[in-house]
Amino acid sequence: MEKHMRFIAAALAMLGLLACESKDKPKDSVPPAPTEEEQVKTVSTEQETALLWEFGDKVTTNFEQSSQALLNAIKAFLDEPTAETLGSARTNWNNAHASYQHLFLINQFSRVEPSLFGAMARAQFALAAHPIQPGYLDYFDVYPYSGLVHDMSVELNEELLRQQHGLTDAADVVLGLYAIEFMLFGESGARPLSDYQAVLELSQADKEKGFVDTTETPNNRRRLLLQRQAELLVEDAKQASQDWRAIREQWQQLSYNVQRRTVHKAFEQGLTQVLLQTASASESEGPAHSRSAQDLSVAIRSLEAAHYWLPQYLREEQLKLLQEAAEALELANKAEDEKTVWRQTYKDLKMAMDLTRGI
């Protein structure tokens, strides 16, 4: 105890000495270099948090709206299954999928700080679980009677669908964008319209298969499953927006250093992912390749929302590299030499990554 008191006294004396030294300095002496913390702040910490949360609010709200538009289009398609209404549902799926890519940055938080952002991780699994196992949902490849569509023992209500989602394996995907994608586009984008024709009366063949009610037929179960999936997507998108807003209060209780470290980690994690995806997407070709370019571009743009939190001396360069990479990818499919675009994008992102490592 005595030893402890002596240490405190010595520390206080040291602080006093430093204080005296500071007082004794001449007024015209060169001011000390700003600490790193001081360098970072050109907007206040409150503003930094506000900007980040505004960004999150905006992207989650937009996604809510695009999910609602998808649900409306799916309802219209189920009311009247035609090539046009199916086309519109697919277009709305593409829009919702593009809108989801804007959540890229905020999704990184749940990876680097799962205790605080756990709700966002759950939202990610509900909204965009991937990869999916198509046979868990419907017929696929050499499995003509596979999945929930054909499994009459599972009632297609919210409770059971949520229970089935990820039941025994992460690939047991029932909900979210990618499950809906398979229901709308089918295998290799070739889902026939006839899959969604409502069965109003049981045929002799249906009766021979053992169906006693039209609700048991695969077409009607498929219709119901798709509608439920779209409804739950909207519900989960709303929940994600609310969760994001709710986390803000806890976030503000963290020290500024912890907040900054968390944003840096999320930024670095996101950057690593886009870098790896750029490397892998640049190897493929075709429509998936073009979609990858657009998705990556949006993901990169979402990272820009974290730039306020980077040290000021890096911001400008970091932002420039990210913008260059995003712009190049937006135009990638129109470029004469696409490979060069991908290579340049990779270089920009790699440079951004190297800068980040120095933080």
Partner 1 sequence: MSLALFDLDNTLIAGDSDHLWGEFLIEQGLVDDKAYKRTNDQFYQDYVDGSLDIRAYLRFALEPLTRFTFPQLSALHERFFASRIAPIMLPKAAELIDRHRRLGDELVIITATNKFITAPIANKLGIAHLLASEGEIVNQRYTGEPVGIPCFKEGKVERLFQWIQEQQQSIEGSHFYSDSANDIPLLEAVSYPVAVDPDERLRSVAQERDWPVISLR
Site mask, partner 1, residues 114-133, x = CB under 8 A? -------------------x
Residue appearing with tokens 């697919």: 90
Shortest distance, CB of residue 63 to partner 1, whole angstroms? 29
Residues that bind partner 1 (rule: CB under 8 A) add up to a total of: 22
Cα angle 76-80-86, degrees, rounded to a multiple of 5: 65
3-state percent breakdown (helix, strand, coil) of the chain, nearest 5:
75, 0, 25
- Per the structure block, which two tokens stand in for 194? 């006839």
The neighbour count for residue 284, using CB atoms within 10 Å, is 10
Shortest distance, CB of residue 210 to partner 1, whole angstroms? 7
Shortest distance, CB of residue 173 to partner 1, whole angstroms? 11
The C-alpha atoms of residue 120 and residue 118 are separated, in whole angstroms, by: 5
Among 60, 62, 101, 146, binds partner 1 (CB under 8 A): 146
- Per the structure block, which two tokens stand in for 92? 């709305």
Question: Using an 8 Å Cβ cutoff, are 120 and 109 in contact?
Answer: yes
Shortest distance, CB of residue 213 to partner 1, whole angstroms? 15
Give the CA radius of gyration of the chain.
Answer: 27
Choose one: 19-27, 148-156, 189-197, 345-353; the region binding partner 1 (CB under 8 A): 148-156
Q: Which of residues 152-191 bind partner 1 (CB under 8 A)?
A: 152-153, 168-169, 171-172
The nearer residue to partner 1, 152 or 202, going by C-beta atoms, is 152
Question: Using an 8 Å Cβ cutoff, are 351 and 287 in contact?
Answer: no
The nearer residue to partner 1, 192 or 210, going by C-beta atoms, is 210
The nearer residue to partner 1, 90 or 150, going by C-beta atoms, is 150
Shortest distance, CB of residue 147 to partner 1, whole angstroms? 5
Among 141, 249, 336, 337, binds partner 1 (CB under 8 A): 141
The C-alpha atoms of residue 303 and residue 305 are separated, in whole angstroms, by: 5
Q: Which of residues 200-239 bind partner 1 (CB under 8 A)?
A: 210
Among 56, 134, 176, 270, binds partner 1 (CB under 8 A): 134
Question: Using an 8 Å Cβ cutoff, are 132 and 178 in contact?
Answer: yes
